[in-house]
Every structure is written in C-alpha cells, then in structure tokens.
Amino acid sequence: MSLKRWKPFQISALAAILSVSSAVMLPAAAQQTPAPAAVRGLPDFTDLVDQVGPSVVNIRTMEKVSSRQSQSGLDPEMLEFFKRFGLPVPSVPKQQRPQRPGAEGDEVPSGLGSGFILTADGYVMTNAHVVDGADEVIVTLTDKREFKAKIVGADKRTDVAVVKIDATGLPAVKIGDVNRLRVGEWVMAIGSPFGLENSVTAGIVSAKQRDTGDYLPFIQTDVAINPGNSGGPLLNMRGEVVGINSQIYSRSGGFMGISFSIPIDEAVRVSDQLRATGRVVRGKIGVQISTVSKDVAESIGLGKAQGAMVTGVESGSPAEKAGVEAGDIITKFDGKPLEKLADLPRWVGNTKPGSKSTVSVFRRGKTLDLPITIIEIPSDATADAAAASKEPEKSKPSTAAQQLGLVVTDLTDAQRKSMHLKGGVQIVSADEAAARAGLKQGDVILGIANTEINDLKQFDAAVAKADKAKPVNVLFRRGEWTQYVLIRPSK
C-alpha cells in the first residue's frame, strides 16, 4: 500500500512507530520508558488454534421441499439467525427469490452452524437449533472430509444436540471445569460465522451464571459470535472446552459485544442422556413460581428477598400431594438455600424422577419442611389452561373490605371445586388503594396480612386486625396464577 493512500491517523501511527524504532538505537541510558506490562501480558492463541482447530467442524443442514413448504428464499445464514432466536421464518415473495433449484422433493440448504468432536469414534456436539427440522446433516472436518451425520438426539430446553458420523480416530476435545472459570479470564471461540470455516475470535468472560433460560446458567462473554458460530466451542487458555456458543444479544442480527455460551458441564450431562437413550429425562414437582420482591419479603416477615414464590400448584402434582400451597415461599430444596429463582427448576430438573426430596417453604411466618417425590416431565409437556368462568352466585358482600377499596363475596362450592381451592373470597369491585395495587374484579383473595382466608368471616377479622397505617400484604389468585400485592394506605 502506497503512503499517499494512508489516512492521517495511519501516518501518525507510522511516525510513532518510527520514533520508537529510532529509540532502540540510542544508548541504554537514554531509553527511560520501558515497554508497558500490559503488552507483554497479552495472550497468544496460536498454540490453542493448532491444538483444538482440528476438533471443530462445520455443520450444514438440508431440508426437503414440500408442496406446502416451498423455499423461503433466505440464505442459510439468515435461516440460522431466525432459528437461533426462535423467530418464525418470513416468507419471501416468489418473484423476489433467487433462481436456484427447489422443486418439491428436492433438498435445499436449511441452515448452517458449527460443532466439535466429542469422542474419537464420531460423536459431535452442537446446538439443537442448528439441526432442528433437518432432513440431512452434513459434517465437514478441517481436512475437508465430509460425512452425512445421524441425529442421535436434541434437547430444545438446553439447545444441545448430538450427531454421529461414521469415522474413527478423530481428534476429540478436552472438557474443562466450568467451576474454575473466572470472570475476566481470556477465552477463545472457533466456528464458522457466515459459513467462513474455522474462524477464530477471542475475548474475556463477562459474567457467569447469567439467567436467560429455565435450565441454563449461561456464560456471558464479549467474544465475537455471529450466525454460523452456533454450536462451536468456547475454550479456555488451556485448550479445554468450557462452553457451547449458543446465543447473542443483538438489535441487528450481528455481534454487539454480548454473547452467551452453554456451560459445558450442563451440556455434557445432557449429551450423556442423549447418547444413552436419545432423550433427556427431567424432574418435576408441579409448581409455577415467581420472584420475591423486597417489599413482599419484608411485609410477610421473610426478611430478605430470596427463594421462589409459588404462584400456582398443579392439580394432582407432587407439590399438591406434599402440601405445597399457592403463596408459599420455597426457601430450600434438599437443604440447599434457594438464593435465585432460576435455581429451583434447575435443581428439580436435574433430580432423577422417583427420588425423594424435601422442599422448605415459608408460610405465614413459619418454615415447614415438606417431603416430596419427584416425577418426570413429559417430553411434550404443555400447560393446561382451563380456568372456569362461571358467574358467581349472589352472596352478602363484606363491608369491612371497603376501607381497603374492596367489595368481596364468598366463593360458591362450584367455584372452589373448579379452581381447586379450599376457600377464599372473590373481589366484586376494586377501587382506590386496592385498584392502585393492581387488584380487580374476579380476583380471589386467599390471604390478608399473613392470615389464611377461607370465607368472609375470616376476611373481616383479618382486615380488622391489620395495621391501617402500614401496607397490607394480600395473597390473591387470578386465573391460574397466584401472587402477592401490597395495598398501601392513602396518605
């Protein structure tokens, strides 16, 4: 490149380099500025690339065109982008599609990604969304050999998949210890962004235990990850795999400095089950949960905001049989303190179905230890939403509730039966303080000021005892969900 084509800042940089070079020619006494320590400490990834590069593979997927599913007209990189974020693939008008083969029955590219060799006999790990919907999976090694792969199993909940190629003597990766990974540590990724095979990017660990999914505490990094990198390995400076590159935060579809990787210990646990049975078995207790706010924790006497609040209990579930109730705060599982909401589904999910466990719940000022038997989550689990919407039978409304801005009535026997409730009172109208708290007509109040409510008589007594100068915690149910709110007195 000629000097006249260089930009001013490049010429300045050249001048600085020349001045440093000339300084090297001076006597030692004249050289008073040593090289910065940070420069001497920069990592060298060359040996890692030589060591791990042959273990990273490119994955292409093909899909048969059907009469009802014609070509989308999108490039494989964009298809992978939509699949990675769980977005519906847009339909490109036929006249705007590129001219390429795609008659019914033909196989056309449906996505691309990366993967890495798990075992020398041909097991390869990647992301579930990379192989989702594929009729054919093609794995390309760094020596340009191509293999048609068989999908051993894929788990959408963790986005982990295992495929098998017919080969032996392959260079398998080394598995690292995620617990030793530290925030600020250098890491490297190898993959095929936009189809560019064996591209290497590097950065640092930005955070650990980043909760963006039910079953995964992601590793957050600033390593450049783009469409096509999905399924590739995240490596530490010892050349060990510590994660699978899976997601990015992006407003444009490109890299913006935030990437997420599946911790390798979680991925290996899933892959072991996929290789053994082709599916993943998870435990379940049958509760819906939400976070515990600081205000609610203080108002119910829990102290600090911790644990998981039970907002719903499935009928006939282990939780119902164990005596768990909506409004309980689950504080421990098998003796382990529950600091974060996401810990509970992770711990329960990793517990073998049929196991006997214990959940500790905080209920109306007391802690209870409830024995519970874990069951298996059905593979095609779907939420049943069947809330009965019958008109309530007329009953005498409570007058004591009016000081809270409420008008409530007793539940009918039919309502209690349809909602699987022992009792409660239903809100006829909510105004002023109650309305500001978010309560509305049709909600069912199950507790007031840490006192269980079964009928109007108990409701009136609880309201009469409540301190009118302080916020009153109200446990209520709306549809299938149970939640706390605070009714604050007007100033």
Which residue ranges make up the annotated binding site for substrate?
A: 129, 159, 228-230
Annotated binding-site residue numbers: 129, 159, 228-230
Residues 415, 395: contact at Cβ < 8 Å? no
Specify which residues 474 forms β-bridges with.
448, 485
Q: Which helix (H) or strand (E) holds 111?
A: strand 107-117
Sort 160 into a burial class: Cβ within 10 Å, 0-12 / 13-18 / 19+. Answer: buried
Measuring CA to CA, which residue among 23, 34, 35 is closest to residue 15? Answer: 23
Would residue 230 show up in a list of annotated catalytic residues for this protein? yes
CA angle in degrees (0–180, nearest 5) for 286-291-294: 145
Tokens of 461: 């007594």
> How far apart are the C-alpha atoms of 3 and 12, rounded to whole Å?
12
Cα separation, 212 vs 305, whole angstroms: 20
Task: Work out whether strand 186-191 and strand 233-235 pair parallel, antiparallel, or are unpaired.
Answer: antiparallel
The answer to whether 293 is a known catalytic residue is: no
Beta strand pairing call for 186-191 and 174-175: unpaired
- The identity of residue 489, as a single letter, is P
C-alpha R_g of the chain:
30
Pick the catalytic residue from 159, 328, 343, 460.
159
Q: Which two tokens stand for residue 286?
A: 């049958």
Q: Which of 55, 114, 129, 357 is catalytic?
A: 129
Sign of CA dihedral 52, 53, 54, 57: positive
Reply yes or no on whether 159 is catalytic: yes
Annotated active-site residue in 72, 192, 199, 230: 230
Distance CA 246, CA 457 (A): 55
> Is residue 428 within 8 Å of 396, Cβ to Cβ?
no
* Nearest one of 485, 401, 477 to 436, comparing CA atoms: 485
H or E element: which one contains 464? helix 456-465
- The structure tokens listed for 219 are 């590793």
Residue 20, CA distances (Å) to 30, 32, 38, 42 in order: 12, 12, 17, 20
Q: Which residues are CB-neighbours of 192 under 8 A, at least 6 positions away?
A: 58, 59, 112, 113, 114, 198, 199, 228, 229, 232
Tokens of 172: 């398998």
Residues designated as active site: 129, 159, 230
